[in-house]
Structure 1
Amino acid sequence: MKHIIFQGGLKLFFWLGKILKKQHLQKFSILLGSLLYYIPWSRKHIAFENLKIAFQGQYSEKELKKILKKFIQEVILTALEVAFIVKKNEKLASWAKAEELEVLDEALKQNKGVIALSGHIGNIPVMLAWLAEKGYPVAVLFKEGKYLPKGFLYNLISSYKIYPIPMHSDREVPKEIIKALNKNMIVFILADQARPGVYAKFFGKYVQCQKGAFVIALRKNSPIIPIFIVREKEEHTIKIYREEKIFQSLEPSQNKSFLSSDEYVVRLIENYNFILESLIRKYPEQYYWFHRRFKKSLD
């Protein structure tokens, strides 16, 4: 039943993307998002529980419900934008701007590839497609959605001349990432999902974090660049941070065992988490709260 509903919803969004004009997308997302907000469903409950954990003591329950409602509207708007871009074969130049794009240019000059650390905030497809349209060699690690048609994301990503790295197995993925780095590509990894690895601090909780991207970058000596996208008014802003943000507060060490230890990786992850958390606090409705981010978290 979930598969049928999801498939129907996907067809509906692509149909809307075909018939709606760009200026109507936000109004429609507010209407549909408001409707979905008042319908009880499990993912909405998960999102609200995540918001309560993240912003405990900062917002009242009434304020959190307002954020939840805006978040659902934002998810709808993001989906409509993607459908609109795909169906209208829209060029992305006017959809976004990038801050400190020269950071990427400098990193690519090292010819070691780039690990682009991102997260589930903002319209990620717009960010990837915008950079690819600008001529940047973009690759992305992704996992096909459970209820999506077979190969849906792979085909969509490939159509924008983005190198797809499907998450088939923990053994094959590192090989594909290294292959892309060897081609001097910018490998985007959304590193904010709960996956077995190490525990690192995020919103005051110790949560499960993947360490693979950091380990590969350190072994390959590839630049680690945090890159995110957020909606600011009617335009998307791609925020690019210098690598120093990941290594801040870490003194150079001659101790090779420490530099290859989980403790060192955790400190890098927490610097990444701090950047992402700062953005989420500023744009709370734009983070993807449906994930069970605090599953198995520790105080």
Structure 2
Amino acid sequence: MSFISGYKRFLRAAGRHALLQGRRVVRRLPDPAFKIFIPFFAALGWLLIERKKRVILENLHIAFGAEKTEKEIKDIFSRYFDNVGFGMVELIYFLDRPQKIVESVAIEGRENLDEALCRGHGVILLSAHFGNFILMYLRMALAGYKTNCIMRRLKDEQFEGHVSDYLDQNGIRKINSLPYGRCVAHSLRSLRNNQVLFMLLDQNYGAGGRVFVDFFGRQAATATGPVVFSYRSGAPILPVFIVRDGARGRHKILIDAPIELEVAPDEPSGLVRNTSQLTKIIEGYIRRYPSEWGGWMHRRWKSRPAFA
């Protein structure tokens, strides 16, 4: 084992122990006492992602360099870090307080989802690593929806087990993105059972089943899964995002109307047009709530098209 790989394993193990121990402490604290720890946990969040600072600023300049001032970009950067740090704190707090989740997270546009489920083909919920999206999963499950989410396996196998067990105990089925064939089978089965399937479409997709579409003026490798699943199952696609709602600790989930996809999904041009349409919706939410997108620390434009 190299020094670098060993060091990364050490950091993952340290992070896992810190989160698990933090949860044990926080679950025993009443609300007023817990709030005392917010500045500490927020500062810890800053330290944990400080090494991503250069990537975040680079991505912010790619997206907004031509339309925002340097001061505006730095303001987004600052609010983004605050959201990440505080988001870690509140998620730990909410994990063992389901009633608090119901009280603190409103759902707007629920009628759009209920009407779509009446078709009987399940619903694909298009979203992103946006706001406190794990809290969104929990709130939807608590609202009575059979909730499935496609997620990558975590590199820390022990923490992967903790996460999967917790989600399962709270009514959320985690579908691993790999192996691909099993992911497809489980996803389609959930839709056939008229359940909801969360798909996050905002990260660089380096495998097969991708197309390059415009994202903030640059070509970005994007998975075609939501489009393909929709045509194979008949499930409508609804954009769903969670955003902060005024006071700290309060959120709202925004459920939009179904997206009308174009025809010819099996043709390359059809996949590109439809996937581009979905990506533009995600970009629109990021423009409205730029400090809420967790993807600023991710290399969204890492893969380049062959003709670039």
TM normalised by structure 2 equals 0.84
Cα distance in 2 between the residues matched to 1:25 and 1:281: 33
Which of 186, 195, 198 is the equivalent residue of 2:196? 186
Residue 138 to residue 75, structure 1, CA distance change in 2 (3 Å): same
Give the stretch that moved more between structures: 79-88 or 177-186.
79-88
**2:299 pairs with 1:292:** yes
How do 1:153-232 and structure 2 match up within 5 A?
Answer: 153-195=163-205, 196=207, 197-232=210-245
Matched-pair contact (CA < 8 Å) for 2:41–2:89: no
Matched-pair contact (CA < 8 Å) for 2:41–2:86: no
**2:278 counterpart letter in structure 1:** Y
Gaps of 5+ in 1: none
Matched-pair contact (CA < 8 Å) for 1:22–1:84: no
Identity over aligned pairs, percent = 27
Q: Cα distance, 1:20 vs. partner?
A: 5.3
**1:280 counterpart letter in structure 2:** I
Cα distance in 1 between the residues matched to 2:36 and 2:71: 23
**2:185 counterpart letter in structure 1:** K
List, as ranges, runs of 4+ consecutive aligned residues in structure 1 with deviation greater than 6 Å: 23-27
How do 1:95-134 and structure 2 match up within 5 A?
Answer: 95-134=104-143
Cα distance in 2 between the residues matched to 1:149 and 1:39: 17
**1:277 counterpart letter in structure 2:** E
Give the stretch that moved more between structures: 193-202 or 87-96.
87-96
Cα distance in 2 between the residues matched to 1:47 and 1:26: 28
Give the stretch that moved more between structures: 260-269 or 81-90.
81-90
Give the stretch that moved more between structures: 66-75 or 26-35.
26-35
Cα distance in 1 between the residues matched to 2:139 and 2:85: 20
Residue 27 to residue 267, structure 1, CA distance change in 2 (3 Å): farther
**1:291 counterpart letter in structure 2:** H
Q: What number of residue pairs does the alignment pair up?
A: 290
2:274 alignment counterpart: 268
Matched-pair contact (CA < 8 Å) for 2:227–2:265: no
1:3 alignment counterpart: 12
Matched-pair contact (CA < 8 Å) for 1:114–1:186: yes
**2:161 pairs with 1:146:** no
Q: Cα distance, 1:280 vs. partner?
A: 1.1
Residue 13 to residue 263, structure 1, CA distance change in 2 (3 Å): farther
**1:260 counterpart letter in structure 2:** D
Gaps of 5+ in 2: 1-9
Q: Cα distance, 1:4 vs. partner?
A: 3.3
